[in-house]
Structure 1
Amino acid sequence: MTTWNLDALYKGFDDPSFKADLVKCEGISLRYKALIEKHLTHHNDEIGSIEAFLKALIEDMTTLRRVGAFGHLSFTTNSKSKDALMTKSKVLKFESMLTEPRVAFKLWLKEIDSIDALASKSILIQEHLFFLEELIASTAHMMSPKEEILASKLSATGASAWETLQSKASSQLSYEVPLPDGTKAMPIMAIRNLAFSGDKSIRKLGYESELSAYDTHAEVSAAALNGIKGEVLTLSSLRKFDSPLDETLFNSRMSRKTLDSMLRTMEQFLPDFRRYLKAKSRLLGNEGAMPFYDLFAPVTESDKSFTIAEARSFIVSYFADFSTELSSFADKCFEAQWIDFEPRAGKVGGAFCSNIPSINQSRVLLNFTGKLKNVLTIAHELGHAFHGDRIMSESILNTNYPMPLAETASIFCETIVRNAVLKNADEDLKLSILENSLSSATQVIVDILSRYYFETAVFEERKDHPLSVAELKELMLDSQRKAYGDGLDENHLHPYMWLNKNHYYYAARNFYNFPYAFGLLFATGLYAKYLEQPDKFLTKYDEMLRATGKMSIVDVCSIMDIDPENEKFWASSLEKIKEDVDAFEAIVDQKLSK
């Protein structure tokens, strides 16, 4: 089967278990009203009150995440499903019901003299000490209880509604493409996949058709982006953050020193990525800088294609070289139908993994077309699933890891497969693998920088006024020029990259760009440590993954003896990528000299 199976969640929207859980969620307000009256109106039994509240949160979050996962996953593979859309809306309402009790619990916790003293007398409190300390720390950035409740309720008809509109409209977008064998109506993801064609004229046609399709959709996306970013700016200010970026760093458990150290180092290595782009452009026969539509072009005629079965065998075998546990887990994901593979109308673009602690399982969405890049994407997403598997031994309240650490296991697993293939590759396959790797790294370092620059500029401009489509396009072009420099043809950039990246429309996850760079560079550094001491690495690696939901980033990194605030660490990881650029450039020069 090429589609996933969601029966472990529910067998359908008419499943009695699904309906029963909806009824249970409807009662959240009444349950917590009674809980607050019984436990949060005094401090007579602080341990008993905290334990009662933790148990209630664990039970209700388990149910909510199960219902939410079913609605979300159903929607992503069929954005026309009314039941899925209705479920997503209901989950937002249910989550808003938890705002008032969470606020009350935070303020009550703040009054306690010593949470550490209570933790020493309660196993349950000790297990959730980091979670409780974060709740207390967050009170410094809270509006009044009434304002927090109002903001949560309004979000369902504000930023969350804009996000759903953008996702639904963009996933259903199609365009008449004048292909050589006749004009054909194609969904937007199929059009974007033309970028991987071996025929330059098809790649250019796909690029031009994509931009034309976005012309018809741009006003909707601009309205959504303005609505979301405007709301974020308002709430961020009211919660006493200096900026949305500061709020993101706070929620990410990441220091500004870590971010600045990483970004500065990335900028220092931009000339090396531009060397790669220029070398690829020469190989593709371009006279000057590379046009945007050639970014994902294959560089060898023998660019291998894979069936799903071949991809499975490929990944499982290479994972086994690292860990039999990882290999067996990956095989189970294929066998148990946890993966939805192929693109189709109504299915969202891209790829993601959804970890579902409510059922101790994950689901992976792909848009698989058989390319080596797609195989590496499977390895990447299975890394997310493996991370979820490690952390599911924790309480559900300790499973929310911050964005920068979210990409660690995924990129690590992708690196395992990529490096294993490189060992025995002939020149053409080596070139293809290096190209796939460097293409991905360029997206994660260079394009991510352009997205970071863009989002920073959007927030700055949005303080003053809603941005027009023309302004958004120009900000995107400016950001691409700054990041890519002379590596790309400035006459063939992509002014609509703000439209096809869903991350810009996540109100709760602003600046969902630099975490990818953190993940790549952190995973690259981890892989180097694995090669140095493979026997000692696995135990510490598992410990680190389990800790990601209950430690700051600095503390998580310290488990692996890494200091993320030191530029030397980031430089050492980027040097590894620079070595790949050198190898790629040497092969290109050799080929062109023949």
Structure 2
Amino acid sequence: RYDIYAPVARADKTYPFDQAAWLVLDSFRQFDPQFAKLAQRVFDHQHLDSEIRRGKRSGAFCWSVNPRLTPWVLLNYQGRADDVATMAHELGHAIHSMMAQDHSIFTFHASLPLAETASTFGEMMLVDRLLAEESDEAVRRDLLFRQVDDSYATIQRQAFFALFEKEAHEMVRQNASPDEMAEAYLRNLKDQFGDSVEVSDEFRWEWVSIPHIYGTPFYVYAYAFGQLLVLSLYRQFKQEGESFKPRLKQILAAGGSQSPERILQNAGVDMRQAAFWQGGFDVIAELVNQLEQIPLP
């Protein structure tokens, strides 16, 4: 199981920050000029911190304080292709918030199932562009591995977390012991991976290290829903082209003012149709197929 998280290889190519910003903004502009204009606002207001320095927290995030303020974006930019993709992702979050700025402070934040819509969509646009223009196979491999790894981590892994939670809540009602819960989790992992990898016995305690499971019940489901939703929407965009764009903008502009189902329904998306979700899995299959065409080092 440990091998899943081991890096296969890493490209040496780096992108200067200015080039990365231009690539991200231009990919937004090609989709819709409003997206690029909103993302540019983050730079113009000096609300993006990308520098790596002592004492700074790791990772990346976007923080939207209220509808009237330009969101703040934190990055730790090192110039790799996945850092460029991270920039597109976090600026996508900022665009989402600014698209919903006409709502109140209580309703402009997107609900969890829709919170990754603009960010992941923006990242997909950038990655598609880089894959089309980049001739360096190592860079292409890095980008594709990132997309496939993220899809596993946010769809399959989270779905199995949710299945474990459902079982665990039933077990708690029956006064199950921690050891019994751990045994149930180990069965869950073995169902998830089958004979593809070996699952070491110590993984039975992994659930204890996932705070979402016992801190915010069923929070994990939003990850799986949100990621697959964006991939499915992206498939529709690839199929429909220009006619799709107003629908995505409508989803983003709704913020968190209505339920996810109502927001999607108003934009012409029926989340109860299996065919819609299959489109997202088709996108993943295409990424895997592209990855298989690149020889490993």
Q: How do residues 230-249 of structure 1 correspond to structure 2 at under 5 angstroms? A: none
Q: In structure 2, what is the equivalent of residue 186 of structure 1?
A: none
- Tell me the distance in 1 between the aligned counterparts of 2:74 and 2:150: 18
The structure with higher relative contact order (CA 8 Å, sep 6+) is 2
Which residue identity lines up with residue 321 of structure 1 in the other structure? Q
Q: How do residues 463-482 of structure 1 correspond to structure 2 at under 5 angstroms? A: 463-465=173-175, 468=178, 474-482=183-191
Q: In structure 1, what is the equivalent of residue 277 of structure 2?
A: 570
Alpha-carbon offset, residue 380 of structure 1:
1.7
Q: In structure 2, what is the equivalent of residue 331 of structure 1?
A: 40
Give CA deviations for 1:2-56 in whole Å, capped at 9, x if unaligned. Answer: xxxxxxxxxxxxxxxxxxxxxxxxxxxxxxxxxxxxxxxxxxxxxxxxxxxxxxx
Task: Return closer, same or farther for 1:293/1:406 CA change in 2, 3 Å cut-off.
Answer: same
Give the counterpart of 1:430 among 137, 140, 146: 140
Indicate conservation of the 8 Å contact 2:101/2:108, yes or no.
yes
Indicate conservation of the 8 Å contact 2:156/2:224, yes or no.
no
Indicate conservation of the 8 Å contact 2:61/2:73, yes or no.
yes
Task: Return closer, same or farther for 1:432/1:554 CA change in 2, 3 Å cut-off.
Answer: same
Alpha-carbon offset, residue 437 of structure 1:
1.0
Give the counterpart of 2:266 among 547, 551, 559: 559
- Tell me the distance in 1 between the aligned counterparts of 2:157 and 2:239: 31
Alpha-carbon offset, residue 411 of structure 1:
1.1
Task: Return closer, same or farther for 1:425/1:400 CA change in 2, 3 Å cut-off.
Answer: closer
Indicate conservation of the 8 Å contact 2:232/2:278, yes or no.
no
- Tell me the distance in 2 between the aligned counterparts of 1:351 and 1:471: 37
Counterpart secondary structure, 2:194: helix
Task: Return closer, same or farther for 1:503/1:361 CA change in 2, 3 Å cut-off.
Answer: farther
Q: How do residues 436-455 of structure 1 correspond to structure 2 at under 5 angstroms? A: 436-455=146-165
Which residue identity lines up with residue 119 of structure 2 in the other structure? S
- Tell me the distance in 2 between the aligned counterparts of 1:467 and 1:343: 45
Give the counterpart of 1:393 among 85, 102, 106: 102
Counterpart secondary structure, 1:487: coil
Q: How do residues 20-59 of structure 1 correspond to structure 2 at under 5 angstroms? A: none
Alpha-carbon offset, residue 466 of structure 1:
8.3
Alpha-carbon offset, residue 574 of structure 1:
0.5
- Tell me the distance in 1 between the aligned counterparts of 2:48 and 2:19: 15
Which residue identity lines up with residue 69 of structure 2 in the other structure? N
Q: In structure 2, what is the equivalent of residue 521 of structure 1?
A: 228
Give CA deviations for 1:73-93 in whole Å, capped at 9, x if unaligned. Answer: xxxxxxxxxxxxxxxxxxxxx
Counterpart secondary structure, 1:398: coil
- Tell me the distance in 2 between the aligned counterparts of 1:545 and 1:409: 7
- Tell me the distance in 2 between the aligned counterparts of 1:500 and 1:338: 33
Give CA deviations for 1:226-275 in whole Å, capped at 9, x if unaligned. Answer: xxxxxxxxxxxxxxxxxxxxxxxxxxxxxxxxxxxxxxxxxxxxxxxxxx
Alpha-carbon offset, residue 492 of structure 1:
8.6
Alpha-carbon offset, residue 384 of structure 1:
1.5
Q: Which runs of 5+ in 1 are unaligned?
A: 1-290
Q: In structure 2, what is the equivalent of residue 550 of structure 1?
A: 257
Give CA deviations for 1:512-549 in whole Å, capped at 9, x if unaligned. Answer: 22222222222222223323443333333222222242
In the superposition, the TM-score normalised over structure 1's length comes to 0.44
Give CA deviations for 1:98-146 in whole Å, capped at 9, x if unaligned. Answer: xxxxxxxxxxxxxxxxxxxxxxxxxxxxxxxxxxxxxxxxxxxxxxxxx
Give the counterpart of 1:372 among 58, 64, 81: 81
Alpha-carbon offset, residue 420 of structure 1:
1.0
Q: Indicate yes or no: 2:166 matched with 1:456.
A: yes
Which residue identity lines up with residue 403 of structure 1 in the other structure? L
Q: In structure 2, what is the equivalent of residue 484 of structure 1?
A: 193
Give CA deviations for 1:255-310 in whole Å, capped at 9, x if unaligned. Answer: xxxxxxxxxxxxxxxxxxxxxxxxxxxxxxxxxxxx4245250435x253445444
Task: Return closer, same or farther for 1:360/1:422 CA change in 2, 3 Å cut-off.
Answer: same
Alpha-carbon offset, residue 386 of structure 1:
0.9
CA RMSD of superposed structures (Å): 3.1
Give CA deviations for 1:192-240 in whole Å, capped at 9, x if unaligned. Answer: xxxxxxxxxxxxxxxxxxxxxxxxxxxxxxxxxxxxxxxxxxxxxxxxx
Give CA deviations for 1:324-365 in whole Å, capped at 9, x if unaligned. Answer: 222232233234333344486583x65432222254322234
Counterpart secondary structure, 2:72: strand
Alpha-carbon offset, residue 387 of structure 1:
0.9
Report % sequence identity: 26
Q: How do residues 28-177 of structure 1 correspond to structure 2 at under 5 angstroms? A: none
Indicate conservation of the 8 Å contact 1:312/1:334, yes or no.
no
Indicate conservation of the 8 Å contact 1:544/1:556, yes or no.
yes
Q: Which runs of 5+ in 2 are unaligned?
A: none
